[in-house]
Amino acid sequence: MSPQFRIWADYTFTLAKDEIARQELLHRPRHKASATTTWTPTDKVAVFGRIDNLFDKRWENPVGFLVPGFGAFGGIKVAIGG
């Protein structure tokens, strides 16, 4: 778009299978998407936002912890000094 405004998006499709048992693995996200945007109006200020788990799917990571659903984050970064 412009050097001051950036957008990133990612999408992952995963079909996790146990080939020996011929079964799909449980608790794995089949569809996963995220988006991030950053606006840098000056060299010292950046405004950002991020959305994780856009489809709000519940799944477990490989060590067994439940991953949170939809999440939105944002903030402002300010560089101070020289």
The residue that leads in pLDDT, 63 or 19, is 19
Residue 82 in this model has a pLDDT that exceeds 70:
no
Q: List C-alpha distances in Å: 75 to 1, 21, 49.
A: 21, 46, 7
| 52 contact partners, CB below 8 Å, separation of at least 6 | 34, 68, 70, 71, 72, 73
pLDDT number for residue 47: 97
- What is the residue extent of each domain of the chain? 5-78
pLDDT digits (tens, 9 = 90+) for 4-46: 999 999 998 888 888 888 888 777 778 888 999 999 999 999 9
Q: What is the mean pLDDT of residues 36-63?
A: 84
Please state the φ and ψ torsions of residue 56, each to the nearest 5 degrees: 55, 45
Task: Tell me which amino acid residue 76 is.
Answer: I
Tell me which residue of 42, 19, 41, 29 sits closest to 70, measured CA to CA. 29
